[in-house]
Amino acid sequence: MVKDTRFYDLLNVSPTVSPQELKKSYKLAALRYHPDKNGHSESAKQAFQQITEAYGILSDERKRKIYDRYGVSDENEIVAILASQKRAAAAAAPAATAARNMEMTPGDLFAHFFGDGFGAGGEFSFLQGNLGGHCRFNSAAKDKARDGKSRGPDIKHNLKCELKELYSGKVAKLGLTRTRLCHRCSGHGSMTSSVCGECRGQGVYSQTRRHGPLVQTWSSSCRNCSGAGTFVKSNDVCQTCRGTGYIRERKIFEVEIKPGLSNKSEIILPGEADQVISTVYGKQQVIPGDVIIIVQEQCSTGRYRRFRESDLVLTRCVVDLRTSLCGGSIYIDDHPSGRPIKLEVIPGELLNPGSIKCVENLGMPKRDNPSQYGDLYIKFCVNFPERLEPETMNVISSALASDSNIIRQENITEPSSAQTRNPDCYEEHVFSNFNEIPDLRKRRHYNSSVAGNKRHKPGGIYESEDEYSDRSYDEDAYDDGFDVYPDARPKTYRMGEEATTAS
C-alpha cells in the first residue's frame, strides 16, 4: 500500500503505473506546464518543478519504493520517521527496544530496514540525484543494523573442582539469575496496542514548504501521542512483566566437567546470558552473550600438583629408612583416581632424600583422549630414626664395610688420604643435644632472601628445602658452601625442581 499519492497525482497516473506509461504521462505534463509555453509565469514554473521532481523519484525503482513506503523523498524526513518509530516502539515496550537507536547513524537505520538492497560490498547509494554521492558503512555496523541489536556482555563464573573430580569427570548443576524477554508478550510489554490516528503511528508530524528551488522541511513530536505513535490501554498491559517487557528468571544449568580438564579451562554455554541489560539510557535489548564457566582446580590433600597438562607430581611421599635402603612396598591411598596404589621398590634401588621417581600411566587423563593417561612423579622424603641399637649398627657397619659399591665410592671420594690417615693424631669429640636450632642458611651467591639447606624435621623426616626450587644462583659461584647439599646438581633433582614448580 502506497503511503502518499501526491507525486502520482501530479503526473495524473495511478500508483500501479508502469514505467512506460509513467514516462508518457511525464512528457505530456512537461509540455503542458513548460515555462516557455506559459509565458514564464510563476505558477507554471512551480508546477514544472514539481512534475520534474515527481518524475525523478518515480522513474527510479529504488527511490520509488522508498517514496511508496514513507510518502516522502527527503533523507532527513525519512531519518526522522525512522527515529520516531524507534521511540514509539520503545514507549510501548521499553525493555525490548529502549536505547537501540542511541548510537545508530542514518546509514545504520536505512540498512536496518533495507538490508543489503542498497548496494554490495558494505555500501549503498541513496537519492544520488539530490545528494550527489553515496554513504558507506563497515560490515560490523551492517551486521549490527540488520537486527538493530548489539551483542551483550558475557557472564563468567568460577567453578571449583577437586583434583579427583577433574580425574573422573562430573556433572555440576549451576543456578543463574538472568534478565530475559517476557515470554508472554515477547518483550512488547502489552498484548495489543492502538495506532495514533494523528501521526499514523510515526510519532512525529512533518511539514514541507518549498521556496523556489529550495525545500524546507521540519518535524515535531506528535502532541496527541507524545511521540509514541501508539496507545496502550491499561487492560492490555502484560501482567507477567507488568509492562516492562522483561523478567528476571533463574535457570539451572547442567555443566559437564570432562575428565582431564586443567586449571582455568573454559566451558562455554552460548547465548545463555542476559537478553536485556541496563545502560545509561535505560533498559536495552541485546543479543545474549555467553555464559563462561572457568574451572578452578583444588586439591584437598595438597600433596598433588599438575605438571604440564596430564602429568601429576606427588610432592611428598614419606618412606622409612629400611625401605629407602633395602627396598619394599609403598602404599598410596589418596590417588585422584580413588584406587589404592601399591609401588614396589626394587632391592638395591636406593631412595635418597629428595629423589624423584616416575610411574607411567598414573597421571591425569589426557584431555583429547581420556583413555590415555600421563605420568606420576613422586618426590621421596626419608624418615630417619632418632637412633639405632648398637647391635644394629655393628651389623650395618660390617655389611657396608664389605660392600663393593661402598668401597668403590670411598676410594673415589678420598683416594690418597684414606690410606695415609693416622687416627691417633686427631682429637676426639661427640655430639651433644641442643634446644635452639641455629640459622645455617647460606646467603652468599643467592638472589633471593630465602635460602636453606637440607633440614631435619621433628619426627626424623629428612627432606629437601622446598624453597630451594624458588632460588636462583650463579653456576660459576657454586662452591664448597653447597657441600652439605651433595645431590643439588644431579639431573634427578632438576627434574623434581621443574615438576614441583610447574603447576
Asked if residue 127 belongs to a domain, the reply is yes
Asked if residue 205 belongs to a domain, the reply is no
User: Per residue in 415-446, pLDDT tens?
Assistant: 555 556 677 787 777 667 666 666 655 554 44
Is residue 246 over pLDDT 70? yes
Residues 76 and 165 in one domain: no
Question: Could you tell me which residues are beta bridge partners of residue 102?
Answer: none
Q: What is the residue range of 135's domain? A: 6-150
Q: Which residue has the higher pLDDT, 462 or 477?
A: 462
User: Confidence class of residue 89 from pLDDT cuts 50, 70 and 90?
Assistant: low
Residues 327 and 469 in one domain: yes
User: What pLDDT does residue 469 have?
Assistant: 40
User: Confidence class of residue 222 from pLDDT cuts 50, 70 and 90?
Assistant: confident
- What is the end-to-end Cα distance of the chain in Å, rounded? 70
Residues 306 and 270 in one domain: no
Question: Between the CA of residue 95 and those of 179, 205, 289, what are the distances in Å?
Answer: 10, 26, 17
Name the domain boundary from 108, 130, 150.
150
Residues 105 and 87 in one domain: yes
Residues 103 and 166 in one domain: no
Asked if residue 398 belongs to a domain, the reply is no
Asked if residue 455 belongs to a domain, the reply is yes
Residues 456 and 498 in one domain: yes
User: Per residue in 268-298, pLDDT tens?
Assistant: 999 999 999 988 877 888 999 999 999 999 8
Q: Which three cell numbers stand for residue 279?
A: 545502560
User: What pLDDT does residue 417 have?
Assistant: 56
- Phi/psi of residue 381, each to 5°? -120, 130
Alpha helices of 187-342 — where are they, by DSSP H?
A: 321-326
C-alpha–C-alpha distance, residues 500 and 301, integer Å: 15
Range name among 16-20, 358-362, 375-379 with the lowest pLDDT average: 16-20
Those residues with Cβ within 8 angstroms of residue 347's Cβ, 6 or more apart along the chain or in another chain: 326, 327
Q: Which of 141-150, 221-230, 393-402 has the highest mean pLDDT?
A: 393-402
Residue 19 backbone class (left: φ over 0; alpha: ψ -120 to 50; beta: rest): alpha
User: What pLDDT does residue 443 have?
Assistant: 53
Question: Between the CA of residue 329 and those of 180, 335, 466, what are the distances in Å?
Answer: 60, 16, 25
Asked if residue 228 belongs to a domain, the reply is no
Residues 269 and 376 in one domain: no
Is residue 331 over pLDDT 50? yes
Q: Which three cell numbers stand for residue 291?
A: 555464559
Residues 267 and 364 in one domain: no
User: What pLDDT does residue 490 have?
Assistant: 32
Name the domain boundary from 264, 281, 298.
298
Range name among 75-89, 240-254, 372-386, 460-474 with the lowest pLDDT average: 460-474
Residues 278 and 371 in one domain: no
Q: Is 253 helix (H, G, I), strand (E, B) or coil?
A: strand
Q: Among residues 318, 265, 284, which one has the least CA distance to residue 97? A: 284
C-alpha–C-alpha distance, residues 34 and 50, integer Å: 11
Asked if residue 31 belongs to a domain, the reply is yes
Output the domain CATH number for residue 103: 1.10.287.110
Name the domain boundary from 102, 133, 150.
150
Asked if residue 230 belongs to a domain, the reply is no
Q: Is 212 helix (H, G, I), strand (E, B) or coil?
A: coil
Output the domain CATH number for residue 328: 2.60.260.20
Taking the CB of residue 26, how many other CB atoms lie within 10 A of it?
A: 21
Is residue 390 over pLDDT 70? yes
Residue 9 DSSP symbol = H
* Pairing status of strand 291-298 against strand 155-162: parallel
Q: Where are the beta strands (DSSP E) in 299-411?
A: 304-307, 311-320, 328-332, 341-345, 356-359, 376-383
Residues 89 and 106 in one domain: yes
C-alpha–C-alpha distance, residues 383 and 462, integer Å: 6
Residues 253 and 370 in one domain: no
Q: Among residues 90, 100, 85, which one has the least CA distance to residue 279? A: 100
User: What pLDDT does residue 183 have?
Assistant: 87
Q: Among residues 310, 316, 319, which one has the least CA distance to residue 376? A: 310
Residue 331 amino acid letter: Y
User: Which residue, chain included where needed, has cell 582446580?
Assistant: 297
Q: Where are the beta strands (DSSP E) in 60-169?
A: 123-124, 135-136, 155-162
Continuous segment of H or E residues that includes residue 439: none
Q: Among residues 62, 78, 61, which one has the least CA distance to residue 70? A: 78
Residues 246 and 269 in one domain: yes
Asked if residue 403 belongs to a domain, the reply is no
Q: Which three cell numbers stand for residue 309?
A: 597438562
Task: Please state the rounded mean pLDDT for residues 43-47.
Answer: 83
Is residue 346 over pLDDT 80? yes
C-alpha–C-alpha distance, residues 339 and 318, integer Å: 19
Q: Per the structure, how many domains does the chain have? A: 3
User: What pLDDT does residue 88 have?
Assistant: 59
Is residue 489 over pLDDT 60? no
User: Which residue, chain included where needed, has cell 505558477?
Assistant: 43
